[in-house]
Amino acid sequence: MKNFLKKASIYILLMLLAAGIIFSLNYYYGQKISEDIKTEITQAAKNNDYQLRFIEIETNPLLQKIVLQNLNLNRAEQFDLILNQAEINLSWQQLLNYFQDQSFQLDKNLESQIKQLSYSSLKDNYQLDFSNVKVDYQGDLSEIKLEQIQNAADLHRLLEDNHKLDFRASELKYNFPYYRSYGLNNNNWDRLSTFNDFILKADYNKDTQKLQIEEFNLNGELLTFIFNLDSELFYDKDQKEITINQLKGDYDLHLAAENLEFDANAFFQNLEFKEFAFNGSLNLSREGDFYKANQLDFNLNLSEFKLLLTEALSQQVKQNTLGILAADNNFEILMDSFSYQQNYNYPNGNSQAELNSSLINAEFEAEYNYSQDMLYLNSAHLRYKPQTETSEQLNSFLQIILGQQIERDEAGFYELEIWGDINDLNFE
């Protein structure tokens, strides 16, 4: 029994001694790696004219983690970047390489969790605040390449490598100081500019020079914007800029504004609407300095819209309509609903629209051809019914301009057939 206790005591002492050595080495190398990384970041910032305001790093090799507790990077008149508690995962191979060569290199595949990330554009005056960020990057981005990217003109160097990014945040807050000029108070702007569960998944292939936005999901209380896009990028060496040769994908934007209140401003006295939705598909290709629309399909819907312009703008409407509209210097538009659908595949397309408003109810259908930068209406049918005496006056004025009387059907709708070149239309 004594021999057993003696052996057990020796084993326990050896285990304690080994644990002490491991934790001592963990502390030593953790401190050393932290200092080396801090030195490298400081030197890189200096080489690229960045101002490093503060940096605090902790490293735990045993747990294979680096934690940037605080990092504030600034470039004069361009941007300000703040990171709080950015946790980067290491691989054992990275640690072994460091122990052997005393040189720390980030893995090509990077996983990180960031508690708070803030990016401020000092040039365009906006700020993005991300909370609880998860970053998964796979690619060939080296430290040497990062040092070569000093400004936007150097971003083309990213096209020389493969990149795959999965960026997620539990919350995204967009700050813009001029929101009150759009008639929004602080509470409404807060609801409109705060998003939950933000997702960005992107994949770039250097061989095909194609960038695929697999998922972009911006989801908030009032505003939702989702899209996926495939694009072919090209670096124009003469112009020194990255251009998009081809762009195609689907998109969906939805704004629920039933409880969104707008304050009076320089443009309107009152603005209200219940819902705005815009979704569709596109396929664009670059031809010279312009983009050719190979496909452009979309649906637009607006409901319960009310707009009362300011007195100054109402007077302009009055002048431009010979005093028919805004006779009392108050121009108001009330729409129960407006919808527009378009289906376009080069070079042919068709459209349908419907408007129900306090001024006029209208229906529109058209088939057209768009080629050689010219829109030609094969046929278009407009059917409308004035709802007020003022809109009847406008209709009479329209007939004078066209030089013909527009026929009215039994339901009280006026009908127009339209065709021809957009700059030289025919009416019947």
Q: What is the pLDDT of residues 160-174, one digit of tens each?
A: 888 898 999 999 999
pLDDT of residue 380: 92
Number of independent structural domains in the chain? 1
The three-point CA angle 102-103-105 to 5° equals 145
Residue 274 lies in a domain: yes
pLDDT of residue 79: 81
Residue 219 lies in a domain: no
Residue 312 region, left (φ>0) first, then alpha (ψ -120 to 50), else beta?
alpha
Residue 200 lies in a domain: no
Residue 241 lies in a domain: no
Residue 222 lies in a domain: no
pLDDT of residue 10: 46
pLDDT of residue 406: 81
Q: Which domain holds residue 388?
A: 264-428
Residue 244 lies in a domain: no
Residue 43 lies in a domain: no
pLDDT of residue 23: 42
pLDDT of residue 150: 65
Single pTM value for the model: 0.81
Give every residue of the chain whose pLDDT is below 50, as ranges. Answer: 1-27, 92
Contact 379, 350 (CB under 8 A): no
pLDDT of residue 19: 40
What's the alpha-carbon Rg for the chain, to the nearest Å? 31
HEC readout, 80-144: EEEEEEEEEECCHHHHHHHHHHCCCCCCCCEEEEEEEEEEEECCCCEEEEEEEEEEEEEECCCHH
Which of 165, 162, 243 shows the shortest CA–CA distance to 201?
165
Residue 428 lies in a domain: yes
